[in-house]
Structure 1
Amino acid sequence: MTATLLQLQSSAIQLRDAIEYPAGVLNKILFKDNNCQYSLFCLAAGTEISEHTSSRNATVNVLEGKGILTLEGKDIVLEPGMFVFMPAKAIHALKAEENLAFILTLSEVN
């Protein structure tokens, strides 16, 4: 079970303190409600997530590291400061070229 790090009331977290790189993929849910889920993803260098889709819209906000997001057949270089929007059902895959940390936000489709 993944614990949610923040509660429903106003709260804050220092993301630098939450980033860690075990082998593979680490997913820490920061906050979740009925409409959105905000997660910190940390991928160790060389980790790959195979092609898949999501039933929800998604955004990626890169915090540190470098990777390649293949989104609907197009390669996008992920580096700090990069923001990506992925509509629901978009085919995508990911490879971390360096240790890679990002915030993934999933939101309901209207």
Structure 2
Amino acid sequence: MNTKVASSNTSFTATLQDLIEYPTSGILSKVLLKDNNSQYSLFCWAAGTEIGEHTSNRNAAITVVEGRGNINLEGRDITLAPGVFVFIPANAPHAVQAQENLAFLLIFSGNS
């Protein structure tokens, strides 16, 4: 499920913890803001959810809000925990797993 929270070209503020909603399974994403160059989304993953190795044609950055998980980024395992920031360059292979309910801000930058 994907929902949009704000429109571009307007100021916007939110408390991310207030926007977190965990699905019973899978992933719920909320696009907080999107413009021609970037997209800011809150991703809420149910415990046990995983996405196999994939790439994106845009740079991405993850900032974990709550929960625990793992990202394998270019063959390196990185623990996802509150406060962890991960930069993922365009076309870098990565896979993500939620060990428990996991919420993170995902920012895509650059043109697709």
Matched residue SS, 1:16? helix
- Residues 1-110 of structure 1 mapped to structure 2, 5 A cutoff: 2-8=2-8, 9-22=10-23, 23-108=25-110
Runs of 5+ unmatched residues, structure 1 = none
Runs of 4 or more off by more than 6 Å in structure 1? none
Matched residue SS, 1:13? coil
> TM-score if structure 1 supplies the norm length?
0.94
Runs of 5+ unmatched residues, structure 2 = none
> TM-score if structure 2 supplies the norm length?
0.92
Question: Could you tell me how far 1:4 is from its partner in structure 2?
Answer: 2.1
Question: CA–CA distance in 2 between the matches of 1:53 and 1:83?
Answer: 18
Figure out how many residues of one structure are paired with residues of the other and give that number: 109
Question: Could you tell me how far 1:105 is from its partner in structure 2?
Answer: 0.3
Question: CA–CA distance in 2 between the matches of 1:14 and 1:74?
Answer: 31
Matched residue SS, 1:17? helix
Question: CA–CA distance in 2 between the matches of 1:102 and 1:108?
Answer: 20
